[in-house]
């Protein structure tokens, strides 16, 4: 068997602070299982935590990054019932770092993986689909015909958000950071797409909606877009700032909401999946999306786990479309 290892954030800093180190094979506590990972998700939050962007749950280095992975159960704790060796499961926000070949994880946080979806797609898509579930179904009643604006529409979350929103009959305006990404957003079903690096998205939205604005802006970019997002809203509209890829929103005056009775929310998936019942019911919907082969989720890059720093460089570079997934090196090259 290949030697277990994990990736550590050794200090707050750039991608170079990610270093690999050997570990002993984990042993399960009574309520845990040990997983041999097959595919590991790379999410933007991994970058925030590595770079020390203020977060409610910033761990101090050294720590193992990563919030989700897929794997096969290889050992069961003494109290575990209803799970089997060899079973495929996934998890997210389980209080363990997922950038590792093996992990001991609480059975409470495990989610069974349906048989008809591959591990890479689950690692790429589950967190993102869960996020889209609460954004579209739990924040505000969104009836067919409602206009929404999705920023970074060609990214990992953005791809699923656009397609799911179209399934709900919404009118989707999208932004993306290059002309190629704009074409991707349109191919995903967006009704309109704007290159927000070359066009003023506020005036474009104004023109497209004939001055009426949109009901909801799903804003994962944060600092660079937030002010503009507010300007795109119809009266009583909502900006959901669910990510801060360009930096955090600072110095926002509540009074800016006053003239059009606007709403702002800054949610996190962790709140929505904190209890097991909610996590499983949202996962069922997320898997309906992921198991549907007509839903496109691009795997931009597959990398060996030992090259996690390259994964971070790529995701930060703003050149990716879709998701990056890490694979334990021994599954790519069985000699290792
Ligand atoms: N709150 C939650 O519950 C939750 C859960 C999951 C994810 N998220 C958020 O959802 C967003 C998408 O996550 P993801 O992992 O799927 O990433 P992603 O969308 O694949 O990548 C981030 C994208 O953000 C855009 N971007 C704009 N300004 C940027 C900048 N200065 N630097 C880097 N990227 C910039 C880029 O797209 P363009 O080139 O098109 O601009 C980039 O590709 C992230 O903000 C993440 O934090 C939030």
CB 229 within 8 A of CB 151: yes
CA of 218 to the centre of ligand 1 (A): 11
The C-alpha atoms of residue 235 and residue 215 are separated, in whole angstroms, by: 8
pLDDT, one tens digit per residue, over 296-334 is 999 999 999 999 999 999 999 999 999 999 999 999 876
DSSP-derived secondary structure letter, 12: S
| Same-domain status, 262 and 155 | yes
**Domain termination residue (choose one: 216, 237, 266):** 266
Quick: pLDDT tens for 43-77: 999 999 999 997 777 899 999 999 999 999 999 99
Does the residue 156 lie in any domain? yes
Burial 5-28, CB ≥16 within 10 A → b, else e? bbbbbeeeeebebbebeebeebeb
Q: Whose CA is nearest to atom 9 of ligand 1?
A: 243
Strands (E), 66-209: 68-76, 88-92, 102-106, 110-112, 147-150, 171-176, 192-195
Using the mean position of ligand 1's atoms as its centre, give its distance from the Cα of residue 335 in Å. Answer: 35
Q: What lines the ligand 1 site, CB under 6 Å?
A: 43-45, 127-128, 131, 152, 154-158, 176-177, 181, 220-221, 224, 242-243, 245-246, 267-269, 315-316, 318, 320
User: Burial level of 253, CB count in 10 A (0-12/13-18/19+)?
Assistant: exposed
* CA 77 to each of CA 29, 30, 74, 111, 140: distance values in angstroms, whole numbers, following the listed order: 5, 4, 10, 17, 41
Is 134 part of any domain? no
88 and 14 assigned to the same domain: yes
Total domains, the chain? 2
Burial (0-12, 13-18, 19+ Cβ within 10 Å), 77: middle
Residue 208 has pLDDT above 80, yes or no: yes
Same domain, 180 and 277: no
Residue 333 pLDDT:
79
DSSP string, 184-197: HHHHTT-SEEEETT
Higher pLDDT, 164 or 53: 164
Measure the CA–CA gap between 332 and 240, rounded to whole angstroms. Answer: 39
Banded pLDDT at 2 (limits 50, 70, 90): confident
Residue 146 inside a domain? The answer is yes
Distance (Å) from CA 20 to ligand 1 centroid:
25
Count Cβ neighbours within 10 Å for each residue of 264-297 and write b for 16 or more, e otherwise.
beeebbeebbeeeeebeebbebbbebbeeeebeb
Q: Are residues 213 and 256 both part of a single domain?
A: yes
Q: Which one of 41, 186, 241, 243 would you pick to mutate in the ligand 1 pocket, going by the greatest count of ligand atoms within 8 A of its CB?
A: 243
Q: Which domain CATH number covers 144? A: 3.40.50.720
Which tens digit of pLDDT belongs to each residue from 247-289? 999 989 999 999 999 999 999 999 999 999 999 999 999 999 9
Q: Is 132 within the bounds of a domain?
A: no
Domain boundary among 219, 244, 266: 266
- DSSP bridge partners of 173: 149, 192
pTM above 0.95, yes or no: yes
Give the end of a domain, one of 248, 266, 284: 266
**Could you list the residue range(s) of the whole structural domain that residue 299 is in?**
5-124+273-332
158 with 112, same domain?
no
Please tell me the distance from the alpha carbon of residue 280 to that of residue 275, in angstroms, as a whole number. 9
Tell me the pLDDT band of 335, cut-offs 50, 70 and 90.
low
Q: Which residues contact 220 (CB under 8 A, 6 or more apart)?
A: 44, 151, 152, 155, 157, 158, 241, 242, 243, 244, 245
* Residue 277 CB contacts under 8 Å (≥ 6 apart), including other chains: none
């Amino acid at each position: 068997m290949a030697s277990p290892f994990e990736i550590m954030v050794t200090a707050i800093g750039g991608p170079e602070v990610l270093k690999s180190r050997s570990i002993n094979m984990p042993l399960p506590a009574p309520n845990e299982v040990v997983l041999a990972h097959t595919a590991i998700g790379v999410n933007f939050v991994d970058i925030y935590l590595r770079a020390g962007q203020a977060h409610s749950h910033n761990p101090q280095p050294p720590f193992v990054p990563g919030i989700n992975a897929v794997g096969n159960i290889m050992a069961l704790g003494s109290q575990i019932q209803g799970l089997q060796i060899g079973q495929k499961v996934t998890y997210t926000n389980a209080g363990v770092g997922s950038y590792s070949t093996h992990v001991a994880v609480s059975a409470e946080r495990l989610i069974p993986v349906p048989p008809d979806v591959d591990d890479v797609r689950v690692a790429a898509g589950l967190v993102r689909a869960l996020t889209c579930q609460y954004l579209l179904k739990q924040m505000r009643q969104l009836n067919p015909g409602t206009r929404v604006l999705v920023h970074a529409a060609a990214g990992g979350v953005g791809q699923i958000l656009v397609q799911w929103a179209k399934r709900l009959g919404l009118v989707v305006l999208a932004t993306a950071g290059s002309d190629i990404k704009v074409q991707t957003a349109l191919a995903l079903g967006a009704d309109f797409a704007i290159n927000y690096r070359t066009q003023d998205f506020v005036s474009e939205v104004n023109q497209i909606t004939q001055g009426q604005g949109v009901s909801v802006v799903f804003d994962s970019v944060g600092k660079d877009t937030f002010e503009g997002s507010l300007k795109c809203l119809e009266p009583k509209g909502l900006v959901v700032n669910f990510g801060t890829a360009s930096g955090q929103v600072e110095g926002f005056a509540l009074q800016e909401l006053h003239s059009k009775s606007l709403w702002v929310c800054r949610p996190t998936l962790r709140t929505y999946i904190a209890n097991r019942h909610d996590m499983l019911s949202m996962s069922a919907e997320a898997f309906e999306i992921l198991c549907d082969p007509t839903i496109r989720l691009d795997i931009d890059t597959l990398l060996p786990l030992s090259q996690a720093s390259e994964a971070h460089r790529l995701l930060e570079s703003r050149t990716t479309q879709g998701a990056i997934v890490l694979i334990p090196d021994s599954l790519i090259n069985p000699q290792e």
